[in-house]
């Protein structure tokens, strides 16, 4: 059995059916691509060399195994939710890292002496680009990766490894160009060619400090106090997308948290209660601020 066949067999036994590989070093095209983004979101690491060199994270790295983790567990949106869908279950960093650790342990029994380093959105690497390079999807106008089976509702993780895997072939597809995400975006942050993170509600719900009147108006355009699912919810590529086969994403949901509950916590008890939630990383103050903006919203703003 060749290396790719071993990888896919190990992954399928864990329920992971969207797995691809990228050879190292990464293509020079990636550095050019990242350098063209002259106004990257502050949550994105700025050091292009670190972003394009997985070898800096694992000495002797030869490949990156990229894994998609579908998190959509039901078709409908939940009108009572005020937290983004990707945060309903336990923090995806925790779930994905557990899967990647198990995948690495299985692979280590075949590739003795080789090393595997799990990364989930916490390294400088451009995970969406790696997923594209690994043949796992293509990009829509909303800038999300679109996987042909699971749509955009996927978290991305990887294993940097010393094992040599063949490079996958990227999908030569584009989105339907229907324009729905552009029209529905609460901040008008999207065009067919550009994305202005400063007008993206998902970014603004995580930005610290007092927001401007214009930013508050964007927050008030839908009921979420953390994140924004609008461009994904309207995208036709998600209409028939499969639900997640991974049970961890369906368990232990918290979809809504109100200001009274948040206010009752000290910072210590907040992190003790919700430290395993992706929406808790900015602390309770930012969530309370957003809840206040929405509570003060003129009737109908969130419709």
Return residues touching ligand SF4 (CB under 6 A): 140-142, 175-181, 185-187, 189-190, 200-202, 228, 230-231, 234-237
105, with CB counted inside 10 A (0-12, 13-18, 19+), is: exposed
- Please identify, using beta-carbon distances, which residue of 52 and 202 lies nearer to ligand SF4: 202
Query: Given the complex with ligand SF4, which of 67 and 218 has the nearer CB atom?
Result: 218
DSSP-derived secondary structure letter, 209: S
Q: Which residues pair with 22 in a beta bridge?
A: 64
Both structure tokens of 2: 């060749």
Is residue 59 annotated as part of the catalytic site, yes or no?
A: no
- Judged by CB, which is closer to ligand SF4: 91, or 229? 229
CB of 228 to ligand SF4, least distance (A): 3
Residue nearest to ligand SF4 (CB): 140
Is the CB of 9 or the CB of 173 nearer to ligand SF4? 173
| Residue (43 or 176) nearer to ligand SF4, CB | 176
User: Tokens for 113?
Assistant: 């002496």
Query: In the bound complex, what is the minimum distance in angstroms from residue 140's beta carbon to ligand SF4?
Result: 3
CB contact set of 284 (below 8 Å; sequence gap of 6+)? 262, 265, 267, 270
Nearer to ligand SF4, 26 or 146 (CB): 146
Yes or no: say if 140 and 146 are a contact pair by the CB < 8 Å rule: yes
Is residue 206 within 8 A of residue 219, CB to CB? The reply is no
Task: Please report which helix (H) or strand (E) contains residue 19, including its range.
Answer: strand 19-23
Burial class (CB in 10 A: 0-12, 13-18, 19+), 256: middle
Contacts of 212 by beta carbon, 8 Å cutoff, 6+ apart: none
Indicate the residue among 116 and 226 with the shorter CB distance to ligand SF4.
226
Q: How far apart are CA 60 and CA 62, in angstroms?
A: 6
| Strand ranges in the chain using DSSP code E only, listed in sequence order | 19-23, 63-70, 116-119, 138-139, 145-146, 154-161
**Distances in Å between the alpha carbon of 108 and those of 152, 161, 249?**
31, 10, 26
Shortest reach from residue 22's CB to ligand SF4, in Å: 23
Q: Which of 27, 121, 196, 233 is catalytic?
A: 121
Rg (CA), the chain: 20
For the CB of residue 67, give the shortest distance to ligand SF4 in the complex, in Å. Answer: 23
Angle at 18 between CA 12 and CA 23, to 5 degrees: 105
* Sole residue written with tokens 């309370």: 288
N-term to C-term CA, the chain:
55
The catalytic residues are: 121
């Amino acid at each position: 059995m060749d290396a790719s066949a071993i990888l896919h067999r190990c992954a399928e036994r864990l329920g992971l059916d969207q797995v691809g590989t990228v050879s190292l070093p990464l293509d020079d095209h990636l550095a050019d691509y990242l350098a063209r983004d002259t106004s990257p979101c502050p949550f994105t690491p700025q050091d292009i060399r670190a972003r394009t060199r997985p070898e800096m994270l694992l000495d002797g790295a030869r490949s990156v195994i990229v894994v998609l983790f579908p998190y959509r567990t039901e078709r409908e949106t939940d009108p009572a939710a005020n937290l983004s869908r990707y945060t309903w279950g336990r923090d995806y960093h925790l779930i994905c890292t557990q899967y990647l650790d198990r995948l690495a342990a299985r692979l280590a029994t075949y590739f003795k002496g080789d090393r595997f380093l799990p990364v989930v959105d916490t390294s400088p690497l451009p995970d969406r680009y790696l997923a594209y390079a690994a043949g796992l999807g293509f990009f829509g106008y909303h800038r999300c990766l679109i996987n042909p089976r699971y749509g955009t509702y996927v978290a991305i993780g990887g294993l940097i490894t010393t094992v040599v895997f063949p490079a996958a072939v990227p999908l030569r597809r584009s989105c339907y160009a229907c324009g729905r995400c552009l029209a529905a975006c609460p901040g008008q942050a999207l065009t067919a060619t550009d994305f202005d993170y400063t007008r993206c509600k998902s970014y603004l719900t995580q930005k610290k400090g007092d927001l401007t009147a214009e930013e508050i108006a964007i927050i008030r355009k839908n009921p979420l106090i953390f994140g924004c699912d609008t461009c994904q919810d309207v995208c036709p590529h998600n209409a028939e997308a499969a639900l997640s086969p991974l049970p961890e994403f369906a368990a232990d949901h918290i979809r809504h948290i109100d200001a009274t509950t948040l206010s009752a916590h000290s910072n210590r008890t907040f992190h003790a209660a919700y430290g395993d939630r992706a929406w808790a990383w900015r602390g309770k103050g930012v969530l309370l601020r957003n809840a206040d903006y929405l509570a003060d919203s003129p009737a109908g703003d969130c419709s």
